[in-house]
Amino acid sequence: MEFVGLRTRGKTRGRYDHQRLEGRRKVLRWMLDNIGFRFLVKIEHVEGREHFPMVGPAIVMINHIAFVDPIVVLGRLPRNVVPLAKAEVYDYPLVGIFPKIWDVIPVHRGEVDRRAIRSALAVLRAGEVILMAPEGTRNPALARGKEGLAYLAHHSGAPVVPVAIHGTHGFPTLSLARWRQPGAEITIGRPFRFKTSGRRPDRAALRQMTDEAMYVLAAMLPPELRGVYSELDKATRETLEFLQ
């Protein structure tokens, strides 16, 4: 998700109150488990749950192939998370009510945005988890990641948890033919932090941090989904410190 050149709609968060939202989120997760994942999206496999931090702030970074990807990941993580999503999801017929109830952070693309940054940082300061797709939009294979991930990770000090997802194409659906095929596979990777030596990273440093993180995600995906990060031999880890 890119913050340089973004604007959000909605209120700016001051102090984020996670407990106030837990009740409604439990109801939505029940709906995902008992309706969404039984009738609309097939979950094939989840791997790496042991890597997910159960306390403290974190940033979940995902690849984004299909519309349902953030929902599938959100529903299969062991903690409730706050996704960042394009503001248009609020306007979708019928399903637009769900991001409002969950209190997703809506983001407009293309204009300067400081409120989205403050909202995301407020969630992280409260010791909770945000979810973002660094590509900023859906792609059939990985596109170049935006620097917003590195910016938020540096300013919050929160670890990044890479989560790769594939097999979501064609969902949501009631098609029996699609349900007979393999479903979504989710892989939760080892969390890492960015090493910046306490200095504020410039744009070049943010670019390196982002690309190194994206290569971690690429290595967790099938080769055909790695896109611009297909050449794993070009990956470096100079700015990354793995925590497990």
pLDDT at position 169, please?
93
pLDDT at residue 6 in the model? 35
Rank 7-16, 33-42, 80-89 by mean pLDDT and report only the highest.
33-42
What pTM value is reported for the model?
Answer: 0.91
Decide if pLDDT at 112 tops 60.
no
Q: What tokens does 108 get?
A: 């407009």
Average confidence (pLDDT) over 190-205:
90
Round the average pLDDT of the chain to a whole number and report it: 89
Distance, CA of 181 to CA of 178 (rounded, Å): 5
Share of the chain above pLDDT 90, in %: 74
pLDDT of residue 158: 97
What CATH number does the domain located at 24-242 have?
3.40.1010.10
Residues 6+ apart with CB under 8 A from 41: 68, 71, 72, 168, 171, 172, 183, 184
From the number of C-beta atoms within 10 Å of its C-beta (0-12, 13-18, 19+), residue 240 rates as: middle
- At 63 the pLDDT is 98
Which of these, 154, 163, 144, lies nearest to 206 by C-alpha position?
A: 154
User: What b/e readout covers 157-180, taking b as 16+ CB neighbours within 10 angstroms?
Assistant: ebbbbbbbbbbbebbbeeeeeeee
Region 78-95 average pLDDT: 82
Termini Cα distance of the chain: 26
Domain ranges of the chain: 24-242
Looking at the predicted structure, is the pLDDT value of residue 15 above 90? no
**Strand-pair category, 105-109 with 160-166:** unpaired
| Region 88-106 average pLDDT | 80
